[in-house]
Amino acid sequence: MGIVRGVAILALLASAASAADPVLLGSRREGWLEAFRLENLETIARVRLKEKVESVESPADGQRLFVSAPHPQQPEICCALWMLDPHSLRAFAILWPAFRPVLMNNKLFAQRGDDGIEVFDARSLAHLPTLRVPGVYNLTPSPDGRWLFGTRQFPTPGLDIFDLAQFKLTRAIPVEGATQLRGIWLGAQYYLFAPGLPGAGRFWAVDAQAGSLGQQKLVRLGEAACAEPDYEVVAAGDRVAIYSPVRSRSGGAGCIHGGYLLADPATSTVSARLAPELPFVRLVAGPDGKSLYGVTPADTKGAKLIKLDAASGQMSASRTIAADVWNLGIGGLPAEWQGRLDLQAAFQ
């Protein structure tokens, strides 16, 4: 276990940040990073990483990448948090064990377990004050960098709000009867979502300054195909896309809704199911929220990478990709990676 505070790594980050067009970053469990053009899903870069890659995060300038993958000292534990310098293609572990890394506003958030939230400056890798809290969270930073929201299930379900100006927990809000909790930002407003009611879910607008939940809003999710369906949420413009991810190849299609719903949490209105024929393993939104990008479960021919118009569910691009466990995100790449399909990183 350990933390590299970044002093020895800073020389690798000395090159000036350059503007980079956003790309779709796809990471594969077998150890690959593949970058796709947002417009047509064309592969524009491919990098061999290492085995058992869980995720890759990149800021908009593409001047560094953060990879979640095992550490040589603890290969049986996933994962360590690695910084990959795209110019030298060398990667250094900065925190292990670590899981659920989140990158926003040039801050990187990660957790070792239930002993706190580690915070790094994503540019310098300086280790910022640790948020000492006994919880394991799904983290959602605010777009302005002021707040960090963490949903938790244990020891009780609830929402914790952290003030990043003071690096402290300011409010812990219990949510009774919530078997799942998800959080999402629509513009400057954070919404808390809790499915679990028969065929319905609940939204609350959250006031970060006051640390309080607004009036509960119910949304209809349709008849559940499972006793306890699983849901994820994605910001799609001024609406929330709600979908049921296929968690494994053996999960059973009869237990999963295809497509997604578009909900307005302020008014409780919800669309008919869009793209119902498409089950998704993962769904993410493009930078402007007008397009959604999804991966379908793999079969003997591979998986499908799909681009959709968020408002209508109409498919605008599709291609076959490798049969593997994929994660998706939006990020940037350096110019020298453009058009390179033969890159290989060294993890030290």
Task: Examine the pLDDT at 229 and tell me if it is beyond 80.
Answer: no
Stretch 55-79: mean pLDDT: 86
Whether the Cβ atoms of residue 292 and residue 310 lie closer than 8 Å to each other: yes
Q: What is the pLDDT of residue 10?
A: 37
Question: What SS3 class is residue 207?
Answer: strand
pTM of the model: 0.89
Q: Which sign, positive or negative, has the C-alpha torsion 318, 241, 152, 111?
A: positive
**Per-residue pLDDT tens for 143-178?**
999 999 999 988 889 999 999 999 999 999 999 888
Banded pLDDT at 255 (limits 50, 70, 90)? low
In terms of residues, how long is the chain?
A: 348
**Residues 6+ positions from 14 with CB-CB distance below 8 Å:** none
Q: What confidence category does residue 227 fall into, taking pLDDT thresholds of 50, 70 and 90?
A: low
pLDDT tens for each residue of 86-140: 999 999 999 988 877 899 888 999 998 888 899 999 989 999 999 988 888 999 9
For 48-61, what is the mean pLDDT? Answer: 90
Q: Is 318 helix (H, G, I), strand (E, B) or coil?
A: strand
Residue among 180, 311, 297, 171 at smallest CA distance from 236 = 311
- Select from 231, 242, 246 the least CA-distant residue to 279: 246
CATH class entry, domain 2-7+21-338: mainly beta
Residues 6+ positions from 85 with CB-CB distance below 8 Å: 9, 12, 13, 64, 91, 92
- What pLDDT was estimated at residue 263? 96
> Taking a C-beta distance cutoff of 8 angstroms, is the pair 65, 56 a contact?
yes
